[in-house]
Amino acid sequence: MSEAKLDGAERDVVVKEWADDYPEGAELFCSRFDSGDFADPRYTVGEYPDGASVAVLAFAAPPPGWVLRNLHLSEDERSKLLLVQSSSAKALDIILDLDRDPFQDFFNAWTAEVSASPGKSPRSSKRSASTKTPSAETSSP
């Protein structure tokens, strides 16, 4: 894969290319893939002889209600559902046509944008970690 996450001028080109797929001003995560990053053509819906670029909404930890509605899913399944909900149909086709390793690299780079557990903002995760007090079981009487 050329780059899991694009920055700078290259990112600006991809944002412009995908601007019609997302609301104006949306924060986008952009990536570019080489032709060799895609699965065997028997398993894809598109053809990518020159590779492809993609943009999806930047990863954001969902609110607690979304997490509760999706508790029946594993954490991995919830993360993948967030990817589906954050992608235009065209972007999702490209992402789903990736081979195993490039898909995982993309997914890991996308989710690395937020290092909090689903349902918590990075600020509340840091705050709760720094304000924990020893439990009564570990305190001596």
Alpha-carbon span 43 to 98, nearest angstrom: 10
| DSSP letters for 30-70 | EEEE-GGGBPPGGG-SS--TT-EEEEEEPP-PPPHHHHHHT
pLDDT tens string for the chain (141 positions)?
556 678 789 899 999 999 999 999 999 999 999 999 999 999 999 999 999 999 999 988 899 999 999 999 999 899 999 999 999 999 999 999 999 999 999 999 998 875 434 444 433 333 334 444 444 444 444
Q: Give pLDDT, residue 92.
A: 97
pTM attached to this predicted model: 0.75
Q: Give the side-chain half-sphere CA count within 13 A for 26.
A: 21
